[in-house]
Amino acid sequence: MLLAEATPPPWRLWRMLERLALRGMPFGPAPSEIPVSPGNTTATLLSMGDLALTRPLGFAPQSVFGELHTLMKRADLRTANLEAVLTDRTQRAGSYGSFIRAAPGNAELLRAARFDVLNVANNHALDFGEEALQDTLECLDRESIAACGVASGTNHENLVIRTAAGMRVGFVGFCDDYRFGAPTNGGPRPAEAMADMIAATIAAARPQVDFLVCHLHWGYEFTLHPLLRHREQARAMIRAGADLVLCHHAHVPAGIEVLGNGAIAYGLGNAVMPMSDYMREGHPWSRRSFMLEVQIGEHAVRSLRLHPFGVAPDGRIEELPPAGQREVLAGIGCLSARLQDAEFLERIERCRLIYETYVLLQALEQAALAGANQLQERLLGLRVLRQRQLLEYMGRLPLFAEAAASLMDLARMAKDARGAASRYDSMRSTFAGALPALRSAYRWQDALRARIP
């Protein structure tokens, strides 16, 4: 994201340059098929990004998924990330951020669309508390749809297995962000994307399946390139025994990497996602996406095929004209080539984390002005994996080590609302002093480069 305070005026001009760069994509190579390994194909798996059935769309899959529904009917397995919980509950589990949910009856649409496995480990899993996530699991159970990504508090396990053409295909899911401060009543919670937890889950799953799919809901929104550490972690997952890694959360497409007999899709973009003002303003490609068709064999991806599509304002999938399809395919080709440039990804990661730290400090100040309870909620959020990793990263940069250490200290004492508020007051000067340094360290050129292929 662009930090207006650290971007030369007129900063809105950079958005125009961004759109021009994206429109130039159709003139590059635009392969739709990616070979991975030799051998016979046993089954076909279709993968999509974020599903948020937050608006009434009816229950005719053809009207929601368009021409892709024909492809979905022919496949052996279908999977996606279920972004919005299925519940009638309206009590929000927090006071800031966006809260999304969908009517429980939408599970019928998911069944009619023939989804087999949905990932529920994502940042919206606990928007309405553990009870709403439990509602979701029960809705999916009734429609014989499996849910992966569950960590605890239920008889569901993270690993779910489906059989296709005689193959045992396993699915697991993880995320790096959710409402950490949501009340804990012993109910289900999403599995965190901690390296040791992922490694242990893969090791336990590998002997039970012939092909293993890992869903990862992580990173930051509207960034076309993964963080360098996420590239390394995804590669480590393939080396540890995963066959296919599917990433989502950014709401835009990202590159694809082949590693041995496995493959990593670093960003599947949106699937069914209503276009709010936030989504439209976030990135022009929030309305550009693709379905990933995966031909699989025993512990091997045989080939990948990309099916580009558009997202209509109400969230439905719509067909793109040929030029639009080429735009998506050529863009993903460029993004895929960029995955080999570690120096570039490192710059992008540094720029984004500096931006996130700046926004975090401003949000904490606003919460402190609103009262101890809102500050406590924000500080409890620092305990989630994404924020822990952010503070660890910033703590390694000399200019921000003191501020990062102070934030870690506040997170540890967040359960004591009054004590944390008092400690925050004593640290205000430290945080205020960090803001000019963050603006100085921020490189708007890297922020802009992160948003184009």
Neighbours of 338 (CB within 10 A): 18
Task: Give pLDDT, residue 27.
Answer: 64
Counting other chains too, the contacts that 396-401 makes at CB distance below 8 Å and 24 or more residues apart are 397/441, 399/434, 399/437, 399/441, 400/357, 400/434, 400/437, 400/438
State the Cα–Cα distance between residues 153 and 174, nearest whole angstrom. 16
Contact 311, 280 (CB under 8 A): no
Three-state DSSP at 302 gives: strand
Cα torsion through 73, 308, 244, 271, rounded to 10: -70
Contact 360, 388 (CB under 8 A): no
- Residues 4 and 14: their CA atoms lie apart, in Å, by 11
Q: What are phi and psi of 81, to 5 degrees?
A: -100, 125
pLDDT at 15: 77
pLDDT value at residue 6 = 85
Give residue 5's pLDDT: 84
Q: Are 292 and 336 in contact (CB under 8 A)?
A: no
88, 80, 183: which is closest to 136 by C-alpha? 88
What is the Cα–Cα distance from 397 to 380, expressed in whole angstroms?
23
Domain ranges of the chain: 26-340, 343-444
DSSP state of 269: -
* Structural contact between residues 444 and 348, judged by C-beta atoms closer than 8 angstroms: no
pLDDT tens profile 344-365: 999 999 999 999 999 999 999 9
Contact status, residue 246 vs residue 47, Cβ threshold 8 Å: yes
Q: Residue 155: what pLDDT?
A: 67
Q: Which of 153, 158, 164 is nearest to 186 (CA)?
A: 153
CA distance 406 to 142: 47
Candidates 322, 311, 323, 321; CA nearest to 268 is 311
**If you write DSSP's letter for every residue of 22-54 in order, what string do you get?**
HHTGGGS----EEE---S---EEEEEEEEE---
Look up residue 206 and give its amino acid.
R
Contacts 24+ apart (CB under 8 A), 181-184: 181/93, 181/94, 181/376, 181/377, 181/380, 181/381, 182/93, 182/94, 182/126, 182/129, 182/130, 183/93, 183/129, 183/130, 184/130
pLDDT tens, 327-340? 999 999 999 999 99
How high is the pLDDT of residue 337?
95
Q: In the chain, what percentage of residues exceed pLDDT 90?
A: 87
Q: Where are the beta strands (DSSP E) in 249-386?
A: 256-259, 262-265, 270-272, 288-297, 300-311, 317-318
CA atoms within 13 A on the CB side of 30: 17
pLDDT for 190: 96
Question: Which residues of the chain are modeled with pLDDT < 50?
Answer: none
Measured CA to CA, the distance from residue 363 to residue 222 in angstroms comes to 20
pTM (2 decimals)? Answer: 0.96
pLDDT for res 436 = 96
- State the Cα–Cα distance between residues 61 and 114, nearest whole angstrom: 9
Q: Which of 107, 3, 102 is nearest to 55 (CA)?
A: 102
Considering the segment(s) 26-340 as one domain, its CATH architecture is 4-Layer Sandwich (3.60)
Token output for 163:
């059989």
Interatomic CA distance for residues 288 and 281, integer angstroms: 14
Check residue 25 and give its pLDDT.
65
